[in-house]
A and B are shown apart, each in its own frame.
Chain A
């Protein structure tokens, strides 16, 4: 195989890999221990941009500060060299402008990879939670069952999703 052919094949493989990551239906990000976003896929930006207070996406802890203010503390207080800092942490959003299909509940997983990096997995679980939540408390449900359900669905905090950061709307 010639060098050109090998280079073309590698380029094709690279594009296929990039496109695979672009199409992944969950948010993936690699962050530093201080929250700086080093790498992120499109769904990560899709889910986080409406929450980002400054239209920036440079720091995960900052982007989620309004709805999960304890993330930095969770990471700092996690002592093992690697492992799950949190798994499927549910984050309740209270988006300001109502819009069709906007996420209301996110799920966040944080995996510590080593002393300097973490992998974040972010997912919109609004529909899943809606399906699981009863429309009204079941009269036959035990108090223990209610307590467990309440624990499983613990809203963190609320915030307003930021409005589009419009620098020059010509026809708002």
Chain B
């Protein structure tokens, strides 16, 4: 079974898949995956997102997500929700409509915001809206 079937964008088991998946497995997904730690430093960045944003993983991994990599998400719609969920020790699993400026073009996307108490990494999944 392909990883896209195992871990669809809106799947219930996707969080568990992301926690266990290798970098190679993340690269097979047909949506973007950004994994970041408690300091908001990007630790995982899959091939789909890399191609969409025009940046290699080497340029992104190790940088701050909300100030260097994706300042467009640094507002109450995205960054604040992660901060609130982490502070409260609550699960965050929300999907919102958003617009990213990928390669300077406004692109309509769906963002899935995932944060589980106790997990090392939090994730943002990015899927283009049709």
Q: Which of B55, B70, B72, B94 contacts A166 (CB 8 A)?
A: B94
Q: Which of A21, A39, A58, A168 contacts B95 (CB 8 A)?
A: A168
B21 at the A interface (CB under 8 A): no
B68 at the A interface (CB under 8 A): yes
Give the distance to chain A from B24, nearest Cβ to Cβ, in Å: 22
Task: Report the interface size for chain B: residues with CB under 8 A from the other chain.
Answer: 37
Consensus secondary structure, chain A interface: loop
Q: Mark B80-95, 1 if CB is under 8 A from A, else 0.
A: 1100000000111111
Q: Chain A: interface residue count, which band?
A: 35 or more
Consensus secondary structure, chain B interface: mixed
Given known A56-B108, A57-B99, contact A170–B72 (CB-CB < 8 A): no
Say yes or no: A46 contacts B99, CB within 8 Å: no
- Identify the interface centre among B10, B70, B97, B108: most chain A CB within 10 Å of its CB: B97
B17 at the A interface (CB under 8 A): no
Binds B, one of A11-19, A70-78, A83-91, A151-159: A11-19
Q: Which of A15, A42, A55, A56 contacts B101 (CB 8 A)?
A: A42
